[in-house]
Chains A and B, each alone.
Chain A
Amino acid sequence: MVSAMFIENDLTLSQKISRLNWWLILLICCVASVGIASLYSAAGGSMEPWASRQLARFGVGLVGMMIVALVNIKWWYRLTWPLYFVGLILLLIVEIKGHVGMGAQRWIDLGFMQLQPSELMKIAVVMALARHFHGANPEQARHLSFLIVPALVIIAPVALVLLQPDLGTSLMIIMVGAGMVFMAGAPIWLFVAAIILVGISIPVAWQFLHAYQKQRVMTFLDPESDPLGAGYHIIQSKIAIGSGGIEGKGFLQGTQSHLNFLPEKQTDFIFTLWVEEWGLLGGLGLLVVFLLIFISSLRTSLRCKHNFGKYLALGIGLNFSLYVFINISMVMGLIPVVGAPLPLVSYGGTSMLAALIGFGLMMSCGIYRHSKVTR
């Protein structure tokens, strides 16, 4: 790679630390404290059973994120494929001998936490694609033959996740992958064609959906048709959000969540609890913080001088933003209930870990933005 960039593979620790994206760390802490405050409220004003554990995980995760960030980007470049295949093997293990949870096999019990390999796999997919696109230019991406590897990289985990079955996660992997392929310069007509193809295949795919997935789609289209059954979650969530009003009911005063009308209030529906208590102001505030995180990831991507870092930072930001969109759209009744957590906010170890590892990688891209990745 011929460039005028200043090669700096050997930074001192203090240089690295000063180059950490402290602004991003502050934003992450903001989002995480929203989560911890909501979990404290969800327990009726108690650190137990969720807030304390979430706080501990965040602390551990934050340190893990720093470590990931301080590791030279070239090591991550080199570890990409091993990590990707470890991820695939973990998915296979889940497939073969997983624990039954929520009607689908998704976890590996590590003793201290239940690991969801599909969460980590998303990052591995982003890394693998970034590595593949590292040595490419937009001209190459116009040739479909160049897209065979990315397609395989995406399809392998998607197939395994679909078997679990977890439609939401597989769609998210596809979308993140598609986003990165788009960035790499794949022609626009390819995406148009894909959208048309999806449109045609929906009636076909419908046949292969599980009954509960069909139900979710149907109740999404008309939640009031089954207010005590499948539509219950959406209706109760909308009631809780709507009743919050502009200023909210106040911290610890969210009646719908506290009286258990709201299901999964500590995990997927944590945003509902937050806006019930903090109202429109709290909700918009959180959205602004998310926007700043998106901007930060784009900025990291654009400022990075090597393609691996560009694609990696962008892919991680894209993955994070997709989570945010899907979770919040879901709890507000814009899309069907797909069972996606709100990263950094929802109670849950793997999603917290995956998000923080992702941001760690992104920060590594920031620290080593001028580094030479290969050799």
Chain B
Amino acid sequence: MLRSDYDYGEKFFTRRAFFIGSVQLAGLGILGARLAWLQVAQGKRYKTLSDKNRINIRMLAPSRGQIVDRFGVPLAVNEQNYRVLIIPEKADDLKKSLSMLQNLISIEDTDIKRVIKDASTTAKFIPLIIQEDLSWADVAKVEVNLPDLPGLFIDTGEVRTYPYSGATAHVIGYVRSVSRKDMTSDPLLKLPGFKIGKTGVEKVYDLHVRGKAGAVEVEVNVIGREVRELKRKNASSGVRITLTIDGELQRFTQEILATHKSASAVIMDAHTGAIYALASHPTFDPNMFVRGFSQEQWQTLMDDTGLPQTNKAIAGVYPPGSTFKMITALAGLKAGVINKHTTVTCPGYYELGRDKFHCWKKYGHGKVNLTEALAQSCDTYFYKMSTEVGIDAIADMARRFGLGDKLGFELSEEKDGLVTDKKWKRARFGKRWYPGETVVSSIGQGGMRATPLQLAVMTARMVNGGHAVKPWITGYLGDMFLGRTEWDDMGISPEHLKMVMHGMDMVVNGKTGTARKSRIEDDLLAMGGKTGTAQVQRITAEQRRLGIKNADLPWKQRHHALFVGYAPTHAPRYVCAVVIEHGVGGSSAAAPIAKALLKQVQARDPATIQMQPALIEGEDILQPWPPKKPGGNTASQGEAG
């Protein structure tokens, strides 16, 4: 081999080695450039992606605000309930565990299927709810057998509970699952199992009692398991609502109404307008709406002709009947048509033109003045007077006392009622008003309609010195007072009010009063009031001739029985309105209940006890969570790799 060959080979090798070296250098250059591109030019983008990767935000549900009565007695609370859950990854055999559980406690097959389906679509370490609201017996059964039920465990959650059950169902309402049309931007509504107020106070103040969602930022690993908590913002509980209701009085009212098939009653403060009790019978158990019905329970509720879901105290409209007579009297007094001494002779009927209007007392009351006409509820007196006063003056007086329109009460189910006059008839039917209609209207029949709440307000305005009181039921929203205690004077003559009140006093306490049987013996607690018996349909000439008693007719055709009352007569504080649907007679059916209610409310005397605002329950706290040392995760990291 020649030396030149060797040199040639040497140079050749060196040349190609340099080429290889350049390629290597270029390769490293490309890698370095790529690294810089990813980490500098695209760094921000990947940083964001990295955080999105590892940070999972989990919503924390707030506790729903309590609803309490005026003494702080809970009417709607959050009860811990027991639920049984399963973690699929800890169950050796999911289906076997579930069927063993099914042998212990009763679980619907559909629930089992749902769990098996969910287990196949979600991460294996996420607990799945099998059954909520377990009884103590079921909890005990499951707890005892836990060693044989791998993956299962018992946990607690919050469920809305109404301790007064049916007694407060209409006032408080209930919560139920969110429906599509309830959806707003509040993220809470998307939380599985979240419930919102659907009726009553729960609905009206839902946004306040609902609270605000909290959030916890957790660092998760690739399969979504939480590694540590990064940040936590606690949920802020909803505010507590203090109602003006007296829970025990409410329960008492509900129970006493239950002696009839369908009835409602309102007890309120004559001066402030605070509602102490507002009840409607029949009722329902609101807890069933939260926890679910059985088919049977649902059917019973739906089939009840007494309409248990309707709050008749504010949504039931009835002809006020004779309870309207005070309005007619005040209109007459204001117009100067009658005075204290005006008398009318009642032969049992009143003739207007060719029409004959009957008094309820077949052979008449004889000669009566205003007090006697109210006490004995003589129709003829008011018939005659009304023709001289005219419907428009009567209707005007009715409206001033809160009839014919919504009172702006908090519960949204409130109805208008109706006060009829010439203008209304023209607008509604395009016809003129007949004098006979005034006669019928004067005793609260014809087109006149009122809710029990309106009747209570009417009575309150008569006995509180003519102040335009309005009803309210929410005392405090948290620590904010929502009520009102001062009301404007309506400018009604005190003299006139005194005369009407005297008449109402005599209704109960007079020797010939229609409600004498229901008087309260104790002078200090004595009540006054007015009975009302409202016709549901006209009494036919045939019935009148045959002397058929109203109580013998089918239930639906019987008269409504009404009573409006107040107590004590010497210094009126409480008013109440009672309506017994198809109760036949105001004095026989409604007055005894009003007596019981007014006795009870005076015995408890809720007006003398100040309501207490609630302290603020929830607070917004943004607290950084001290990050733990990574040492705690070492084991799982090692296993994972």
Contact = CB atoms under 8 A, between A and B. Distances in A.
Interface of A: 1-3, 42-46, 48-50, 137-139, 179, 182-183, 185, 236, 238-246, 252, 255-256, 258-261, 265-266, 275, 279-280, 283-284, 287, 290-291, 294-295, 298, 301-302, 307, 310, 314, 318, 321, 325, 328-329, 332, 334
Contacts of A238: 38, 46
A287 B637 contact: no
Interface of B: 1, 3, 5-6, 8-9, 12-14, 16-17, 20-21, 24-25, 27-28, 30-32, 34-36, 38-40, 42-43, 45-47, 49-50, 53-54, 219-223, 227, 630-631, 633-634, 637-638, 640-641
B20 A183 contact: yes
A225 to B, nearest CB: 17
Nearest to B42: A242
Given A260-B222, A275-B39, A283-B35, A137 B5 contact: yes
11 contacts: A2-B3, A43-B637, A48-B638, A239-B53, A256-B53, A259-B220, A259-B221, A260-B223, A275-B39, A332-B34, A332-B35
A68 to B, nearest CB: 23
Contacts of A49: 638, 641
B17 A302 contact: yes
B30 to A, nearest CB: 8
B24 A294 contact: yes
Which of B27, B223, B227, B630 has the largest count of A CB atoms less than 10 A from its CB? B27
A240 B640 CA distance: 18
A368 B633 CA distance: 51
Contact of B637 (A138, A139, A236, A258): A258
Contacts of A298: 17, 20-21
A305 to B, nearest CB: 10
Given A260-B223, A332-B31, A241 B39 contact: yes
A301 B18 CA distance: 11
A43 B8 CA distance: 54
A284 B640 CA distance: 30
B13 A183 contact: yes
B47 A243 contact: yes
B14 A243 contact: no
Contact of B1 (A1, A261, A265): A1
Dominant secondary structure of chain A at its interface with chain B: helix
Nearest to B637: A44
Contacts of B43: 242-246
B35 A284 contact: yes
A245 B45 CA distance: 10
Contact of A46 (B5, B227, B638): B638
Which of A48, A243, A255, A291 has the largest count of B CB atoms less than 10 A from its CB? A243
B45 A260 contact: no
A283 B633 contact: no
A21 B364 CA distance: 135
Given A42-B637, A275-B39, A314-B17, 20 more contacts: A2-B3, A46-B638, A49-B638, A137-B5, A137-B8, A240-B46, A241-B46, A243-B46, A243-B49, A280-B36, A280-B39, A283-B39, A287-B28, A287-B31, A291-B24, A301-B17, A302-B13, A307-B9, A325-B31, A329-B31
A321 B219 CA distance: 38
Given A275-B39, A280-B39, A245 B47 contact: yes
Contacts of A334: 30-31, 34
Given A50-B641, A261-B53, A241 B24 contact: no
Contact of A242 (B1, B31, B38): B38
Contacts of B12: 138, 185
B20 A318 contact: yes
A44 B28 contact: no
Given A42-B641, A238-B46, A332-B31, A280 B53 contact: no
B417 to A, nearest CB: 63
A336 to B, nearest CB: 15
Contacts of B20: 179, 182-183, 298, 314, 318
Contacts of A236: 53
Contacts of A318: 20
A256 B54 contact: yes
Contacts of A48: 638
Given A2-B1, A259-B227, A314-B17, A138 B8 contact: yes
B13 A284 contact: no
Contacts of A294: 21, 24-25, 28
Nearest to A266: B641
A295 B20 CA distance: 11
Given A241-B38, A242-B46, A284-B35, A261 B24 contact: no
Contacts of B17: 183, 298, 301-302, 314
Contacts of A287: 28, 31-32, 35
A271 B630 CA distance: 21
* 9 cross-chain pairs, A with B, having the tightest CB-CB distances, nearest first: A242-B46, A243-B50, A44-B637, A259-B221, A260-B222, A44-B634, A243-B46, A138-B12, A280-B39
A44 B39 contact: no
B40 A245 contact: yes
Nearest to A276: B50
A287 B24 CA distance: 11
Nearest to B222: A260
A255 B222 CA distance: 11
B638 A43 contact: yes
Contacts of B638: 43-44, 46, 48-49
A146 to B, nearest CB: 14
A3 B6 contact: yes
B32 A284 contact: yes
Contacts of B47: 242-243, 245
Contacts of B45: 242
Contacts of A42: 637, 641
Contact of A275 (B25, B35, B221, B634): B35
Nearest to A46: B634
Given A321-B27, A329-B31, A332-B31, A245 B637 contact: no
Contacts of B36: 280, 284
Contacts of A46: 634, 637-638
Given A183-B17, A256-B54, A328 B31 contact: yes
Contacts of A2: 1, 3, 6
Contacts of B630: 44-45, 252, 258
A102 to B, nearest CB: 15
Contacts of A252: 630
Nearest to B43: A245
A301 B50 CA distance: 44
Contacts of A256: 50, 53-54
B115 to A, nearest CB: 25
A236 to B, nearest CB: 8
Nearest to A235: B49
Given A241-B46, A261-B54, A287-B32, A44 B38 contact: no
B39 A259 contact: no
Nearest to A279: B39
B19 to A, nearest CB: 8
B220 to A, nearest CB: 7
A107 B303 CA distance: 77
A258 B228 CA distance: 12
Which of A185, A265, A283 has the largest count of B CB atoms less than 10 A from its CB? A283
B39 A242 contact: yes
A177 B17 CA distance: 15
Contact of B219 (A246, A259, A283): A259
A242 B43 CA distance: 5
A240 B50 contact: yes
A236 B54 CA distance: 11
A241 B631 CA distance: 24
Which of A44, A48, A283, A334 has the largest count of B CB atoms less than 10 A from its CB? A44
B54 to A, nearest CB: 5
Nearest to B3: A2
A295 B17 CA distance: 11
B1 A255 contact: no
